[in-house]
Structure 1
Amino acid sequence: MTFENKVIWITGASSGIGKALALELSKYNCKLILSSRRQAVLNDVKNECLQPKNVEVLPLDLADYYKMRTVVEKALSLFGNIDILINNGGISQRSLIIDTDIEVDKKLMDIDYLGTVTLSKALLPHFIAKQSGHFVTVTSLMGKFSSPYRSAYCGAKHALHGFFDALRLEHDKDNIKVTMICPGFVNTNVARNALTGDGSTRNEQDTATENGLNVDVFAKRMLKAIKREKFEAYIGQKEVLGVYLKRFFPKLLHKVVLKSQVR
């Protein structure tokens, strides 16, 4: 698979992984649609791209998922086609279960799960009609195993794997691809922007995230996985081993995570 002459739609494109992907993809002869809630910041990202004339900005709030059909219609009107949807938008959480208001759990599910699922379902008929398309969904290693202080986040990310595994099976006959990207720690603002138990923003970086992969390095590895049309890709440092411990030695993983005292 190549990115040449493709139309690629990226959600959560105003910062972090989404922005890094946009800047890296702008080196190819492809067209980009950048979405997030912050139009002004998206315009800044567009202007940083190597070929801004090949980039369009489309504001999108994943929490407002009842409007996704209209958003997809707008996206298709920009270049007349979409080849790849990169579901990168979302939010994280840092709080103990006992301290987390149920509205926080609901918000994580609304944004990280239902927003992504509704957007993908709205685009699905387009992929079926042209008998090709690629859904790329950024979940997390927390979509494969869990950690304290991330209960709502883990729940939403696990749910994404369940949905997109089913989509891949149902639409293999339509030549529709699904790639699940599972980042470990990546040095972005994800921890700062995470919600606490009462729904307020954490506004604090954590050591593990700060010492994570450089976001530009991550973006390059992610694009390699997309090119190879991998079913799943685990991208990080030693924390990636947790996926295999969960599969073969779940009790050992339990002890390792407890000992790590990840916050």
Structure 2
Amino acid sequence: MNFAGQVVWITGASSGIGEALARAFAAAGARLVLSSRRTEELERVRRTCARPEEHLVLALDLAQPATFPALTAEVLARCGRIDVLVNNGGVSQRARAIDASFATERALMDVNYFGPVALTKAVLPSMLARRSGQVVVVSSVMGYVGTPGRSTYAAAKHALHGYFDSLRTEVWREGIHVMIACPGYVNTAVTDNALGPTGEKRGRREGTHIRGIAPEKCAAAIVRGVWRRRNEVHVGGWEVLGIYLQRYVPWLYARVVRKIRFSVDDAP
């Protein structure tokens, strides 16, 4: 795989899958634009990447879409173009639907759905003008299934699939490719940072994620999918089978998922 000369903009690049993606794309020759809210952590990630002096750190808050046109203009001014936009930033959830405040649900949708959509809309005109580019969306197995404690998170991921599957059909003739990545359990801080009923952070990692695949393995599969211009990539362990159970044997999936117990007080 060779991304030499390509500009890759990654959101949520300060940790987890985004951090691993940054190192993987840099190792493949790409020039990076690293974004999240945490500038200090982005600088740390930049320094760990191959050719750190080539990469740009750009603070971005996915809940502030009004800032995206100016940020996109800054990237284009400093880098000349955007070859690959990786919509990776997001936040998970751990709350029963009946307990989740509407404000928290709206915040989850703003970050996980409206943020990637708004950033894509800011970047897309420059790709269309060049008739070249790739848009990557890091979704989740939850983009296909629903499990207890993740109702709004699952809704946002389902929405991403509908939007970006449709976008793919609109822009392929213009030389733009859209890929959706669906990780399962990855050993990152996603559950530590997951929002509870009133927006509080869960503050601990769940056993399913501790036992999940390494973020580097997930990133390698995503980068490989971008290189091969795949429409969709599924990566993880046994939990990825849920996608196929839901699709082909929905009655069996329903029986399995009913056995899952959830409480915000559950131990990892």
If the TM-score is normalised by the length of the shorter chain, which range does it land in? Answer: over 0.9
Q: How many residues align?
A: 263
Q: How does 1:3-22 map to 2 (within 5 A)?
A: 3-22=3-22
Quick check: 114-123 or 23-32, which moved more? 23-32
Counterpart of 2:158 in structure 1 is 158
Provide closer, same or farther for how the CA distance between residues 40 and 46 of structure 1 changes in structure 2, counting only shifts above 3 A.
same
Tell me what 2:142 maps to: 142
Does residue 117 in structure 1 map to residue 117 in structure 2?
yes
Contact 2:2 2:28 in 1 (8 A): no
Q: Deviations over 1:146-187 (max 9, x none)?
A: 111000100001001111111111111101000000010000
Distance of 2:16 and 2:29 partners within structure 1: 22
**5+ residue gaps, structure 2:** 264-268
* Amino acid of the structure 2 residue aligned with 1:35: S
Matched residue, 1:29? 29
| Equivalent AA in structure 1 for residue 203 of structure 2 | N
Q: CA deviation at 1:28?
A: 2.3
> Share of identical aligned residues, percent?
43
Residues in 2 aligned to 1:149 and 1:83: alpha-carbon distance in whole angstroms:
36
**Aligned partner of 1:170: which letter?**
E
Q: CA RMSD in A?
A: 1.2
Look up the equivalent residue of 1:19 and give its one-letter code.
Answer: E
Could you tell me which amino acid in structure 2 is paired with residue 34 of structure 1? L
Question: How far 1:260 sits from its partner (Å)?
Answer: 4.3
TM-score, reference length from structure 2: 0.95
Q: Distance in 1 between matches of 2:248 and 2:231?
A: 20
In structure 2, C-alpha distance between the alignment counterparts of 1:135 and 1:217, rounded to whole Å:
21
Contact 1:141 1:243 in 2 (8 A): yes
State the shift of 1:204 in Å.
1.2
Q: TM-score, normalised by structure 1?
A: 0.97
1:262 and 1:200 mapped to 2: Cα distance?
17
Q: Secondary structure at the match of 1:97?
A: coil
- Provide the C-alpha distance between the structure 1 equivalents of 2:106 and 2:73, rounded to a whole number of angstroms: 27
Q: Give the corresponding residue for 1:38.
A: 38
Task: Report deviation, 1:261.
Answer: 3.6
Task: Please state how far the C-alpha of 1:224 moved relative to its aligned partner.
Answer: 1.0
Q: Which runs of 5+ in 1 are unaligned?
A: none
